Structure formats: C-alpha cells, structure tokens
Amino acid sequence: MAAGGRALPAVWLGAAIALSRSQLRAHGALNVGAHGGAEDLVTSLRQSIFVETAYLSERTEERCSSLDGPRCFAALLARGGKATLQGRPGPVLDGPGVLPETLLHDLGVESDLGFITPEYDVLSALRGQVTATQSPTLPVLSGASAALLRSARGSIEAGVLHFAELPPGSRVPLSFSRGLPGNVVATWDGGWRARSRGLEGLALSLAPPGTPMGLPAPETDGADKLANPPAVANNPGQGPRGGMVSVVAELTGSVGYLRFSRPVLVRSLFARWCPEKTAPPGLVGGRLGLHGVWTTHLDPKKLRESRAWIDIGSGAKKPVDEVAFVATAGLEIGAVDVVAPGGSSDEDEEHSVIVLAPAAAFQGEGGEEGEEQAGPVFEMRAEKVTAVASPYIVSLQEVIDRNLRLHAAPLSHKRIHTPGLLTDRSSPLLPDKENVTWYAAAAANQAMFEHTSLMQMLLEPQLLGQGNGVHILQGLLSGSSAPLPRDLQTELPKEMIEIWEALHGWLRAGGGWGQGTPSSLPRNSTEEALLRYVTAKRWQTKLDLITAAYLHQRPEVEQGTFSSLQHFAQAYSLLQQA
C-alpha cells in the first residue's frame, strides 16, 4: 500500500519490483510483471522514459561469426529470427521488459557484465512528489501527450544565425537576425561589431557525419532520413566545408547579450576567444526569462593557446530566450545554430518526462569509482521538456519501434572534452591542483552569476564580525580598481543608482525577484505582471555588471573577504542556517 492507504497503480507496482534499488545490475531485460495487461503497462512506461538522440544511431545490418559467441546469435534471433541470421531484414527490435535484451547487447553487456542504473529509484521520488501535491497519478505520459511531442517535430524550424552580409567594422544592428527561423527576431545588446576574418573564418558543415540525430515528424518518416542535422564547425584545413563564414560578431565590451523574441533551443554557438593575458575567466549563460538554464565557463589560459573555433553552447535540450556574455571582451561569434517551434505559444508548454542518460563512468583516471564501475552506467532523472526539444529526445518506445542503437557515450563526444570549457555536461577532470583551482573559480563565478553570492557578501559582516563585505562590494562598484577594464570603470559609476536599486530590490525580496513577479515574459497577462517582469529584468542586467566586476577582481575580493577556505565554509554554513 502507498502512503496514505492508497494502492500503487499496477504499472508502478511492476516497475518497483524491477527498478526499486538504488543500484541495479540486470543480466537481461527489466521486467514489469507477467499478469494480464502487462504489455500495455510496459508500453506506458516506455512512453515516459526518454533518451537523447546524441546517444542513438541508426542500426546497420549485423552478422555474427563464430568469434562473436552465442550472445550475438541470441540477440539477433531475438530481433529477427532466422531471417536476420540469413541477412534478410527482420522485424524491429523488441522483447520482454522495459529495456529489451538487444539494447543491452548494443552496450556490450555480456553475462558477466552488469547494466548499472543508480537512479532507478527516481520513480519512487517522483511518486513521493506527486503524493505531496495530492495528484492521483505519476507523470507517465498518456498516449495523447506522447503523440503530441512526436507530432510537434513537424512544426520545428531550424536556422543558423550568421553575419556574412554585414560590412566589416560596422555595429551589429539591434535586431540583426540573418538566418534565424522566420518567427524569431534577435536583439543585440552591448558593444557588438562585425569583423572580417578572411581565411581565418569559420567553415560550417551542415550535414556532417556522426552528429546527433534529429528525428523527423511521423508523417515525414523515411528510410535513413534525419531532420535538420546540426551544423558543426570545421576550422580551416580541417575536414569538409559546407560554407565559409568570414565575417563574425565581436563583443567589444565586458557584458553583452543576444536575446530572442521567443524561446529557442541553442544547439550550437560557435565562437573563439583569444583574450589578453590579464583576462579573468569568462562565462556565457543561457537564460529563460529570469532563470538560468545553462552556463559555460571559459578558461582564458587554455583558450588563448588556440585560434580554433569551438562550440560554447552547453548542448542542453532546454529553451532559452537570452544568452548573456560576461567578462568575455574580444569573444567572436561565428554562427549560432538554433531551432524554434513554428506553431503557437501553446508549444512552449512543458511536459514532465523521465530521461535515461549515461552517467560519467569514472571520476578522472585511476579513481576508485572508475575501478568499481565495470559496465555502462545510466541514470534516470525527472525533467521538463517542451516541444522545441522533440526532434532530439526520443521515448524508449520509439527507440524500439525505430530499431535504433543505444550508445554509452554521445556521438558528439568532442564537445564534452573541449579544453578550456566547463559546463554541467563536461566530463570530470583529473583532480590535480590546476583543475581544482579551475573548479573553485567556476563555482565562485557561477554563484555570482546566479546572484546568490550577493546575499552572502552583504550578510558576511553580521555573520563573521569583520565588516568588510559591504566595503568589498562598494569597491567593486566604484569603478576605480586597476584590474577593471575601461568600459566597466566608466559604466559602474554611471549606473551606480540603478545598481543599488537592483540590490535593494533583490535583498528586500530575500534574494529573489519578489512574490508575484513572473519568471518569464508573461503573455496575455496583466499590466502589473508585465511591469514587474520588466523591472526585474532591468535589475538583472545591473547585477550582471556586478558579476563582471567580480570576475575581474575575484582574487582580490576573496583575499579581502575570506582569510581561508575554512572561513568561507563557516560563512556558507551560517548562511544556510540563516
């Protein structure tokens, strides 16, 4: 019986039998029961579990030899019987359980190798969340909702924002949107100028091999057909080119923004950065309204060594309507690959799904965790997705229907290992002194970008009795510090009144934007709600100026505010209690 005396639905009772433990090693398919209606229950659960297309590929014809062992023959027989063994097309893969045997075979799972799923108990957590909200059902997508996500692919529009037609040396126009989908208008805020890079320009390949699949809508299904494969950057002399981008947009100031008239999915943001030797770590953050969605941290030391074009997008499958560039003066944007829903604003509605994704198999080289995890490691987590991500996430049921192959590592693996970039999707770095310092700097910068450090900085005098938190903040805003670039030395004193107004509003709301403030641009809402949002958004840009100043002076700030790491930990602990 469930908490409160209610019986668990049959699908969750069956799922709990197979998926309840925090670490499950399955030497076969995961089953959900053998009573009547089990097939429908399995299908329902498969429709609610999604996989990113970055971990999928189309299946090629397989043949077995005597060297492959009986496992290969068993897997092929499970898919297509004798017809498959004879080289004739067999039926799509399927089998008992939520995860058919063939998917495990794709990952190289043998009889002596476990398929580890540390987060299967997320199902129990989801049930607890729903019980707390007195909802009678768990977030299993109905057939209609699953069909809605699939059909939304037909209305998704893709585009690559580029600057080929801009005169070199000119300012990027305020609403320059060349190459974007027709229903999306970009807005450029900050100092952006067009620069000609000639032979150093960006070479784009619009249909490269080995990129994540974008699945077409059901009515356009065809053999071996992919929808809107993402663009990738090929540096001059490296691989095939679909076209050259010789004009780029350069950020000439410390803070800049690229905003979109409606939420879009930024699949790739091709840029390069050759900062000055004194440049601090920079960051690029995607936001949806007032909330941060993803952040990419840039290490100037590593990026200064290369003139290569890199993708500084996070690869997240979540929409944003703003990309903020902080402490990245001199950064050049070559192209921005985006997709947007082509229909009404109803397609921005969120759907709760469960995402099955490979977890990092090891934490650096030679670590104990890497030695323990002998097989593919997957985790399940609850996420909310919108229609714009529909071509790039696939339900487990559709993976089976399309006979797709599952991989333990993303096909676009280079994105995760780009030196000088750090995102929440980056592979773990070796725990040496340099990387530990880099992690610490990124964490401090992230906290300031999310404005959580502001509360800490202003409360620190009361907590630690030193009285220098406000003094440090005043120093940041004075614009007189030597490490600050010239534009911040001018901008900070000029915006001083509005910055303090933003700080006052943020702190008065307890470290937020205030009750009743919409988190994103309200549509068909009241004038008061719109005014609250516009005010909060203006305040956010002022707090970004503080972030830029902090990034430039972080070593001095940390030295003046905290005498040791233990001191910092004490302050943080007290703040958590407060």
pLDDT tens for 203-254 read 665 544 445 567 765 544 443 344 455 565 555 544 434 566 788 999 999 9
Q: Let me know whether 305 and 371 are in one domain.
A: no
15: confidence class by pLDDT, cuts 50, 70, 90? very low
Element (H, E) at 132: helix 122-132
Per residue, the 3-state secondary structure of 450-509, as one string, reads CCHHHHHHHHHHHHHCCCCHHHHHHHHHHCCCCCCCHHHHHHHHHCHHHHHHHHHHHHHC
> 103 with 177, same domain?
no
Cα of 208 vs its chain's centroid, Å = 22
- H/E stretch holding 399 reads helix 396-401
What pLDDT sits at residue 452?
87
Tens digit of each residue's pLDDT (9 = 90 or more) over 77-91: 544 444 344 444 444
Contact status, residue 392 vs residue 319, Cβ threshold 8 Å: no
pLDDT confidence of residue 27: 36
Within a domain: 312? yes
Structure tokens at 276: 């000055």
Q: What is the pLDDT of residue 493?
A: 87
pLDDT of 269? 94
**pLDDT band for position 289 (cuts 50, 70, 90):** very high
Candidate from 10-14, 26-30, 392-396 with smallest mean pLDDT: 10-14
CA gap 328, 330 in Å, rounded: 6
- C-alpha to C-alpha distance for 442 and 283, rounded to whole angstroms: 9
Q: What is the mean pLDDT of residues 440-468?
A: 73
Q: Which of 348, 367, 396 is the last residue of a domain?
A: 348
Give the C-alpha separation, 129 to 141, whole Å: 16
Residue 313: the pLDDT is 87
89 with 182, same domain? no
**Residue 476 maps to a domain:** yes
Partner residues linked to 528 by β-bridges: none
Residue 438 lies in a domain: no
Amino acid identity of residue 36, one-letter, is G
What are the two backbone dihedrals, phi and then psi, of residue 406, each rounded to the nearest 5 degrees? -100, 135
What is the bridge-based pairing of β-strands 49-52 and 351-358? parallel
Identify the pLDDT of residue 52: 86
pLDDT in tens, 400-426: 888 888 887 776 544 456 888 888 877
pLDDT of residue 108 exceeding 70 = no
Task: Report whether pLDDT(290) > 90.
Answer: yes
Q: Which of 369, 389, 406 corresponds to the end of one domain?
A: 406
Q: CA 354, 359, 364 angle in degrees (round to 5)?
A: 160
In a domain, 269, yes or no: yes
pTM of this structure: 0.76
Same domain, 48 and 127: yes
Task: Tell me whether residue 543 is in a domain.
Answer: yes
Residue with tokens 């005169």: 167
pLDDT, tens digit, for every residue of 40-57?
777 777 877 888 888 888
d(CA 373, CA 375): 6
Q: What is the mean pLDDT of residues 370-394?
A: 72
Does residue 420 lie within any of the structural domains? Answer: no
Range of the domain at 564: 451-577
The mean pLDDT value for 490-514 works out to 89
CB distance 37 to 67 below 8 Å: no
Is the pLDDT at 335 greater than 80? The verdict is yes
Phi, psi of 212 (to 5 degrees): -55, 145
The answer to whether residue 277 scores a pLDDT higher than 70 is: yes
Q: Which of 314, 348, 382 is the C-terminal boundary of a domain?
A: 348
Percent of the chain with pLDDT strictly greater than 90: 23
Tokens 């609250």 correspond to: 532
Answer yes or no: do 341 and 360 share one domain: no
**Backbone phi and psi for residue 333, each to the nearest 5 degrees, phi listed first:** -100, 125
CA-derived radius of gyration, the chain: 26
DSSP class of 521: -
CATH number at residue 221: 2.60.120
User: What is residue 510's predicted lDDT score, i.e. its pLDDT?
Assistant: 86
**358 Cβ contact list (under 8 Å, min separation 6):** 55, 376, 377, 378, 379, 407, 408, 409, 410
Cα 495 from Cα 391, distance rounded (Å) = 43
pLDDT at residue number 201: 60
| 468 and 496 within one domain | yes
Structure-model confidence comparison of residues 494 and 26, the more confident one: 494
In sequence order, the β-bridge partners of residue 268 are 337
Same domain? For 162 and 273 the reply is yes
Q: How many C-beta atoms surround the C-beta of residue 563 within 10 A?
A: 12
Is residue 566 over pLDDT 80? no
Which range among 95-99, 221-225, 349-353, 570-574 has the greatest average pLDDT?
349-353
Across the chain, mean pLDDT equals 71
Most confident range (mean pLDDT) of 461-465, 476-480, 544-548 is 544-548
In a domain, 503, yes or no: yes
Task: Give me the number of domains the chain comprises.
Answer: 3
Euclidean distance between CA atoms 268 and 421, whole angstroms? 14
pLDDT digits (tens, 9 = 90+) for 54-80: 888 887 655 555 555 555 555 555 444
Is residue 188 scored above 90 in pLDDT? yes
Q: How many CA atoms lie within 13 A of 258 on its CB side?
A: 26
Over the stretch 119-137, which tens digit does the pLDDT of each residue have?
444 445 544 544 444 444 4
Does residue 430 fall inside a structural domain? no
Same domain, 14 and 111: yes
Q: Which of 467-476, 500-509, 551-560 has the lowest mean pLDDT?
A: 467-476
344/367 same-domain check: no
pLDDT at 118: 43
> pLDDT digits over 251-271, tens only?
999 999 999 999 999 989 999
Q: Is 90 helix (H, G, I), strand (E, B) or coil?
A: coil
CA–CA distance, 235 with 237 (Å, rounded to integer): 6
Residue 572: CB partners within 8 Å, gap ≥ 6? Answer: 456
**Are 17 and 89 contained in the same domain?**
yes
pLDDT higher at 431 or 333: 333
DSSP 22: S
Q: Domain check: are 331 and 362 in the same one? A: no
197/261 same-domain check: yes
Residue 514 region by backbone torsions, left for phi larger than 0, else alpha for psi between -120 and 50, else beta: left
pLDDT of 492 > 60? The answer is yes
* Residue 355 pLDDT class (50, 70, 90 cuts): confident
